[in-house]
Each structure stands twice: as C-alpha cells, then as structure tokens.
Chain A
Amino acid sequence: MVSGKTARLHRKHATEYKITVASKLENLAKISSFVGRVGVQLKLPSDFVFDSQVAVNEACTNIIQHAYGFKTDRPITVGCRLRNLEFIIRIRDFGNPFDPDVVSKHKVEGKLERRATSGLGMFLMRKMMNRVKFRFDEKRGTELTLMKRLPEPEAVLEGPIADATQPAVG
C-alpha cells in the first residue's frame, strides 16, 4: 500500500523511468505528467507522447475503477523506456485481474443514436499504441505492456540539393 506522498519519479537505469502512485483519480494527471516528462527527456515527438498519455490514462483509469474498485491506497507503478525505436510502457497493479476479452468491442461507425459508450477506453488504448498486452501473475500482479513504435528516421541527404528550376552550369 502506498500513500499519495510516496509517489516518486526515479531512473532505474540509463533509459528506464518509473513512478509509483496511490490508486486515486487525482493521480491520473500526475501519471500523465510523468509520461510527458519522460517524453521530453527522451526527445519524443509531442503528438507521439500525447497518444501514449491517452493510452496510459485509460489503462490507469481501468485499474482504479475496476481492478481496485476505487480503493485509493493501492499501488500503481508505471515504467517507461525507449528500446531501439520502441517506446515501452509497463503498468503494474495488484487488483482484480482484468480480462480484456470481456470488454465489448467499441464500434465508432454508425449513427449517433446507435453509438454505445462501453469499451471506448480500450478502443483508444489499442488505437494509440502498436501493442497492448496483459499478463497476469498471482504474486506479481497484473502487468500491462503498451508499446508504440517511433517512425523510422528519414534518410539524411548529403550535400546541397540541386535546384531543378535553375539551369545547370557548365
């Protein structure tokens, strides 16, 4: 169990950052802010970081509401690292295991009157990230791994680019 005051940010090693907070809705902003700071530290594009923040927020909201049933003194640990071109976020809790397959698939198509509200959080999580994977362990709790791949760096052009509008000299 942790209190809000024990929330902390530390570097585990060269490229891994971790925060542990209590399972309060008030801490969702703190977690988002943590992911934002890691993004700045790792020089990730701001829209890439925003998408990651959206996914992490949905995951942590699920933990608080469903895994912990709104108990406010349970731990949520979020760890972020960049491996090659993959931004990997691991989120751990010790609440009730969550079965992603029981969440109804959210359908965004169709008329307003037919739009259901259920499953939108999971929908956003899957859309924002390249991989969403849950792992359950009685002792180690639930670990959710989110992965978002950075775009391949563009080829660097060497030398001046010829101006096609000017006639070639010589």
Chain B
Amino acid sequence: MPHNLRLVEGHKSLAVCELVGRIDALNSSALKKELAAFVDQNKPRLIIQAQELEFIAACGLNVLLDFAQKARSRKGGMKFVAPNSNVQRILDLVMFSHLFDVLDSEQAAIAAFTGPA
C-alpha cells in the first residue's frame, strides 16, 4: 500500500497520511476512498508526510485537492511535510505551495494545526 493513514495521538480530527513511492492512477482511488472516510469526521485536518513520496501523478494531486476542498468546508485543512525536490517542483507548478503550508517536520505541521503547546 503506497499510503498509510494514522491519527495523531490526542487529536481525533488530526491525521497523518504517509505517502510512499508512487501515487498514480493505479492506487489513487484507494487513497481517495480512505480520505473520504476521514473527511466525514468533524474538522478533518491532514498532514501529508511526503518524505518517502517519489512520484505523484495528476490523479493523485486531484485526490488531495478534492480532500482539501471538502476539509476546508468543514474548517479543516492540509499541510505537506518534507517533499523531495522533484515533488516540491510539482507542488510549485500546480500552485499547491500557494494553497497549503509545506513544512520541514511532522512536529512543525502538528504545531501549525494545533497552536503552541
């Protein structure tokens, strides 16, 4: 499975989605299904852990965009953590980096969502 969704301890509406390897038309619908289930929760907030993500196709970007739009309407959001330079270039090209924070670490992303401890 090229993705793994886990809740952050102590924050039931905050989850981390680790993307690994390649997200393309073969596996993006499985990701979409899982994120749709999460978005149904109140105030869905998602951290995309992109450190191990090597490749993301348009359909994968669309799944994330679709999630972010639904999450926003429920006062949720999405942040990226540590994409490699190639993936960062794609995020810049499709202007995701204008819409979503891109942070260095998961801790920084959690803090950005939850505020200072």
Contacts and interface: CB of A to CB of B under 8 A. Distances in A.
Interface of A: 25-26, 28-29, 32, 46-47, 50-51, 53-54, 57-58, 61, 64-65, 108-109, 112-113, 115, 117, 120-121, 123-124, 127
A28 B61 contact: no
A115 B25 contact: no
10 closest A-B pairs (Cβ-Cβ)? A121-B58, A117-B62, A120-B58, A25-B26, A108-B95, A50-B86, A61-B25, A112-B99, A25-B25, A28-B24
Nearest to B71: A112
19 contacts: A25-B25, A25-B26, A28-B26, A29-B24, A32-B22, A46-B86, A57-B24, A61-B24, A61-B25, A61-B58, A112-B72, A112-B99, A113-B69, A115-B69, A120-B94, A123-B94, A124-B90, A124-B94, A127-B93
Given A47-B86, A108-B95, A124-B90, A64 B58 contact: no
B59 A61 contact: yes
Interface of B: 22, 24-26, 55, 57-59, 61-62, 65-66, 68-69, 72-73, 85-86, 89-90, 93-95, 99
A68 to B, nearest CB: 13
Given A61-B57, A112-B72, 11 more contacts: A50-B89, A51-B89, A54-B55, A57-B24, A57-B55, A112-B99, A113-B72, A115-B69, A120-B62, A124-B58, A124-B90
Contact of A121 (B57, B72, B90): B57
A125 to B, nearest CB: 9
Contacts of B58: 58, 61, 120-121, 123-124
Nearest to B99: A112
B55 A32 contact: yes
Nearest to A119: B58
Contacts of B90: 54, 124
A41 to B, nearest CB: 20
Nearest to B61: A120
A122 B54 CA distance: 20
Contacts of A109: 95
Nearest to B29: A25
A65 B90 CA distance: 22
A5 B55 CA distance: 25
B21 to A, nearest CB: 9
